[in-house]
Amino acid sequence: MNQALAAALAKLAENEEKARSSSAFTQAQRRALDEFIQQTGCIRVYRKGRGWGYEVCNQTLFNRHLQELRPDRDSDLASDLNDRARNIATRRSSKAGQHQHDLYYLLLKASGSGVQWFNDEGVTLELSESTDAYGLGALQVAPSDTWRTDQPLWLIENQALFDSLDWVEPALGGSVAYYAGNLTNNLLRWLESRQRASQVILFPDYDGTGLENYARLKTAIGDQASFWLMPGWKALLARYGNRTIWQDNLVTFETARQRLKWLAPEDRVHELIEELAFWGMMLEQEAIGLISGEFTSGPTTQG
């Protein structure tokens, strides 16, 4: 309601005559204006041709309400002001309106020695050294940059597996990145802008959200992306699977299932999908901590 009303009042304020035809407003904005008229009386409805319009009839009261909803006008703000600050100034909330971070901060750890990232400017991040010295490394990335590695890039969603990398297959090694739940659009745009690694391996929870993230990753980078099946995943699912979380993600699961049928019909991830559907359970990625012995499984596809 407040957003629709604020947008409608702003449209009236922008017009020199402080009046606009009803067709200039969305249905939600017209409803908000009609309710606002009943509450304040500072706007009136008038006939305009075969239709009608809205006109400010009490400018002082109108300005007071507009100021409450939108402290500043967008046109009065500096053109280089960041989106969230602009939203606070015009809507009193950093999350209102359209906003998008231009940059992404990639948190990385090295699995093994000699892991590097480099770019066309001759700058190198010695990730193995950074991990040994500081616990991790980080890159500020954007689609226009040239950062890349010659080794695999793992994407994991839970911090427990980022804290300790004992689970990473020694034969693969590479960089492990923590993405906290969902792959952001900025990260996907960065990955798809050029080849960033020898392969990009997703290791998420085995549920609808994890599969949906894989579908989004496959859409972005195609065969460069693979989904990691942990050793003994079938036995782990049967013994430790969770029905409650499965049911909460069922709609997302079915959507991802259909997307992946089209995107990657030969991918081994479909074996996992069918097992999840058979048991009606999901499996959290931390279950890998219950495994002992050698790692024998691998990615579902090779990029």
* Reported pTM: 0.67
Residue 17 domain-assigned (yes or no) = yes
Residue 265 domain-assigned (yes or no) = yes
Last residue of a domain, one of 91, 114, 142: 91
Q: Domain range spanning residue 65?
A: 2-91
Mark whether 78 and 173 lie in a shared domain. Answer: no
Q: Tell me if 251 sits within 8 A of 208, measured CB to CB.
A: yes
The CATH number of the domain holding residue 13 is 1.10.10
Mark whether 262 and 131 lie in a shared domain. Answer: yes
Q: What is the pLDDT of residue 52?
A: 84
Residue 24 domain-assigned (yes or no) = yes
The CATH number of the domain holding residue 231 is 3.40.1360.10
Query: Is residue 213's pLDDT more than 50?
Result: yes
**Mean pLDDT of the residues in the chain:** 85
Q: What is the pLDDT of residue 79?
A: 58
Mark whether 268 and 182 lie in a shared domain. Answer: yes
Mark whether 113 and 73 lie in a shared domain. Answer: no
* pLDDT tens-digit series, residues 117-167: 999 999 999 999 999 999 999 999 999 999 999 999 999 988 999 999 999
* pLDDT tens-digit series, residues 34-90: 888 888 888 988 887 777 888 899 988 888 887 777 766 555 555 555 566 655 655
**Is pLDDT larger for residue 153 or for residue 6?**
153
Number of domains in the chain: 2
Residue 247 domain-assigned (yes or no) = yes
Mark whether 13 and 151 lie in a shared domain. Answer: no
Last residue of a domain, one of 43, 69, 91: 91
